[in-house]
Amino acid sequence: MNIGHHRWAIAEGYLPEGSTGEGPELASHETLCVLNTGERDAELAITVYFSDREPVGPYRALVPARRTHHLRFNDLRNPEPIPVGVDFASLIEASEPIVVQHTRLDSRQAALGIMTTLAFPC
Amino acid sequence: MNIGHHRWAIAEGYLPEGSTGEGPELASHETLCVLNTGERDAELAITVYFSDREPVGPYRALVPARRTHHLRFNDLRNPEPIPVGVDFASLIEASEPIVVQHTRLDSRQAALGIMTTLAFPC
Amino acid sequence: MNIGHHRWAIAEGYLPEGSTGEGPELASHETLCVLNTGERDAELAITVYFSDREPVGPYRALVPARRTHHLRFNDLRNPEPIPVGVDFASLIEASEPIVVQHTRLDSRQAALGIMTTLAFPC
Amino acid sequence: MNIGHHRWAIAEGYLPEGSTGEGPELASHETLCVLNTGERDAELAITVYFSDREPVGPYRALVPARRTHHLRFNDLRNPEPIPVGVDFASLIEASEPIVVQHTRLDSRQAALGIMTTLAFPC
């Protein structure tokens, strides 16, 4: 099954500064959820856009065949970490068709907020 | 009225571990909301994808003609329950055109968070 | 400007039972947000689907030319109110092209949760 | 890369009245997130629709080439501020193809709620 698109855009991006609650599950984070239903591994190239400087990337990631990968923007390290408290956006390009959904968990205040949306296939 | 698609994908999936509040309404859960506006019952086959093992399924469900069905991933039992605290994704295939929306209620902390998005028609 | 579609579906629907906070703004509610950018009034016919009985409707509403209308499902009265604590879904048909977004505010617990998604154009 | 559409609609809009928490990051707000992946600056013309009066606009904004711009509706001043506690909607027209996502942070109660959705390309 070849499901999805090779390119997706996410215009929203923000890593909240600070968290309440314990453990990585409750830490404030922003996630790129990718589904690869196909029979070949999908190589991702992620470009991160900012409001006041040139884009950074590509960040590389792999989503194996018939797998999902929920990648936290907070964990990206190479070529450089994404700073917290800064507006960004992202473009995801894949060697195979994938489906992309974007989620944030914000636990800066005493009880978490969550949000999600389908990314934009383009 | 034949509204929707036969196949939908949801790249995000996660059953939060733990809840605050009483009763099933406030328990942390993740829901597949399906609308069948047609005149024939829709048989669903749901495949669940993981990050580190082969997909599981199909899970079977029925959405009768002119009905909506809000199915909690937490309640899936056959072929096996979906573990809590684990990343997953899903593919929904239906015998009739349907519309699919994905919702999570997370009550791990003292006040709930909710999120929703249209699934991806494919 | 003729922007949007004549028909939209929302597979999710649920009026939370109970609220914290004061005033209608903080009461738990679910909203159908409609934008009519055109030069003619749009007449809406809303059909509400349930999990265990026949659909109810049409509910009638009007979105004047060049106006938005944020209609709470909680306020629908004719042909009958939508019960709280019950799963539903909806189909919105309009005499003119419109854009539809679906939002819920849930204040059952001590701090509100909110969610939103584009409806499905069909 | 010419990614996106020249016109997007957002049927939901509401600036919550009041906030808890300190600083602009935690103030209740509603944001228009725009991504311009192209090589030319994108000039935006935003029209704001209300439920009971004529649309207001255009509000002007610029998204430089290869940049994202997260614009708070709360900060719009010209031709006039958007009142808090009032339903609105918006239409975004751009000189270059862009991608648009809509986000709200609501901190009226003791812990924030957040929501997001892709806007409607039209």
The DSSP-derived string for A47-115 is EEEESSS--EEEEEEEE-TTEEEEEEGGG--SS-PPPTT--EEEEEEEEEEEEEEEEEEE-SSSS-EEE
Is the Cβ pair A115, C113 closer than 8 Å?
no
Question: Residue D57 and residue D60: Cα distance in Å, rounded?
Answer: 8
Confidence check: pLDDT of D121 > 80? yes
Q: What angle do CA D17, D18, D24 make, to 5 degrees?
A: 115
How far A47 CA lies from chain D's nearest CA (Å)?
10
Q: Determine which helix (DSSP H) or strand (DSSP E) holds D86, and give its type and residue range.
A: none
Strand partners, B48: B56, B90
Provide the pairing of β-strand A120-121 with B5-10: unpaired
Asked if D78 and D59 touch (Cβ cutoff 8 Å), the reply is: yes
Question: Residue D76 and residue D79: Cα distance in Å, rounded?
Answer: 8
Selecting from B25, B101, B110 the residue whose C-beta is nearest the C-beta of C12 gives: B101
Closest chain B CA to residue D110:
B111
Lowest-confidence region among A112-116, B31-35, D90-94: A112-116
Question: Residue A56 and residue A53: Cα distance in Å, rounded?
Answer: 9
Q: Is A39 exposed, middle or buried (0-12, 13-18, 19+ CB in 10 A)?
A: exposed
How far B63 CA lies from chain A's nearest CA (Å)?
23
- Number of Cβ within 10 Å of residue D17's Cβ equals 13
Average pLDDT over chain B, rounded to whole?
94
Is the Cβ pair D4, A120 closer than 8 Å?
yes
Residues in chain A: 122
Which residues of A fall within a CB distance of 8 Å from D108? none
Question: Residue A2 and residue C89: Cα distance in Å, rounded?
Answer: 30
Tell me the pLDDT band of A111, cut-offs 50, 70 and 90: confident
Asked if A34 and A46 touch (Cβ cutoff 8 Å), the reply is: no
Q: Quick check: D20 contacting B, CB < 8 Å?
A: no
Average pLDDT over chain A, rounded to whole?
94
Q: For residue A89, give both structure tokens.
A: 């956006």
Question: Residue B98 and residue B89: Cα distance in Å, rounded?
Answer: 19
What subunits touch chain D, counting only 3 or more CB pairs under 8 A?
A: A, B, C
How far A53 CA lies from chain B's nearest CA (Å)?
30
- Mutate which of D44, D116, D117 to test chain A, going by most A C-beta atoms within 10 A? D116
Q: For residue C48, give both structure tokens.
A: 């509400």
Confidence check: pLDDT of B28 > 90? no
Question: Residue C65 and residue B11: Cα distance in Å, rounded?
Answer: 38
How far B113 CA lies from chain C's nearest CA (Å)?
5
Q: Quick check: B122 contacting C, CB < 8 Å?
A: no
Tell me the pLDDT band of A116, cut-offs 50, 70 and 90: very high
Give the SS3 label for residue B73.
helix
- pLDDT tens per residue across all 122 residues of chain C: 789 999 999 999 999 888 887 788 888 899 999 999 999 999 999 999 999 999 999 999 999 999 999 999 999 999 999 999 999 999 999 999 999 999 998 888 777 889 999 999 99
Closest chain B CA to residue A118:
B117
pLDDT mean over D86-114: 92
DSSP A25: T
Q: What does the pLDDT read at residue C113?
A: 87
The gap between the terminal CA atoms of chain A, to the nearest Å, is 20
Q: What does the pLDDT read at residue D72?
A: 95
Provide the pairing of β-strand A29-36 with A67-72: antiparallel
- Number of Cβ within 10 Å of residue C2's Cβ equals 10
Confidence check: pLDDT of A34 > 90? yes
Q: Quick check: D88 contacting C, CB < 8 Å?
A: yes
Closest chain B CA to residue A22:
B109
Closest chain B CA to residue A24:
B85
Is the Cβ pair A111, C115 closer than 8 Å?
no
Question: Residue C77 and residue A62: Cα distance in Å, rounded?
Answer: 52
Q: For residue C110, give both structure tokens.
A: 């001590």
Strand partners, B47: B91
Selecting from A111, A114, A117 the residue whose C-beta is nearest the C-beta of C111 gives: A111
Confidence check: pLDDT of B118 > 90? yes
Side chain identity, residue B1: M
How far D21 CA lies from chain A's nearest CA (Å)?
8
Q: Quick check: C82 contacting D, CB < 8 Å?
A: no
Question: Residue D110 and residue C107: Cα distance in Å, rounded?
Answer: 11
Give the torsion sign (CA, B93, B59, B37, B40): positive
Q: What does the pLDDT read at residue C2?
A: 85
Which residues of D fall within a CB distance of 8 Å from A91? 1, 3, 35, 37
Asked if B15 and B86 touch (Cβ cutoff 8 Å), the reply is: yes
Question: Residue D67 and residue D38: Cα distance in Å, rounded?
Answer: 9
Asked if B91 and B46 touch (Cβ cutoff 8 Å), the reply is: yes
Asked if D26 and D116 touch (Cβ cutoff 8 Å), the reply is: no
Confidence check: pLDDT of A69 > 90? yes
Q: What does the pLDDT read at residue C41?
A: 98
Q: What does the pLDDT read at residue D25?
A: 82
Cis? peptide before B79, omega within 30° of 0 = yes
Give the SS3 label for residue B26.
helix
Q: What is the pLDDT of residues D28-85, one digit of tens each?
A: 899 999 999 999 999 999 999 999 999 999 999 999 999 999 999 999 999 999 999 9
Confidence check: pLDDT of B111 > 80? no
Question: Percent of chain A having pLDDT more than 70?
Answer: 100
Selecting from B12, B55, B106 the residue whose C-beta is nearest the C-beta of A33 gives: B12
Closest chain D CA to residue B112:
D113
Closest chain C CA to residue A112:
C113
Q: Quick check: A39 contacting D, CB < 8 Å?
A: no
Q: Determine which helix (DSSP H) or strand (DSSP E) holds B24, and give its type and residue range.
A: helix B23-26
Question: Residue B74 and residue B25: Cα distance in Å, rounded?
Answer: 13
Selecting from A17, A106, A120 the residue whose C-beta is nearest the C-beta of D114 gives: A106
Strand partners, D48: D56, D90
The gap between the terminal CA atoms of chain C, to the nearest Å, is 20
More confident residue, D111 or D52: D52
Phi, psi of D75 (to 5 degrees): -95, -5
Q: For chain B, how are helix, strand and coil distributed in percent, rounded to 5?
A: 5, 50, 40
Cβ-Cβ pairs closer than 8 A, B with C, add up to 104
Tell me the pLDDT band of D1, cut-offs 50, 70 and 90: confident
Is the Cβ pair C101, D117 closer than 8 Å?
yes
How far B105 CA lies from chain D's nearest CA (Å)?
12
Q: What does the pLDDT read at residue D114?
A: 92
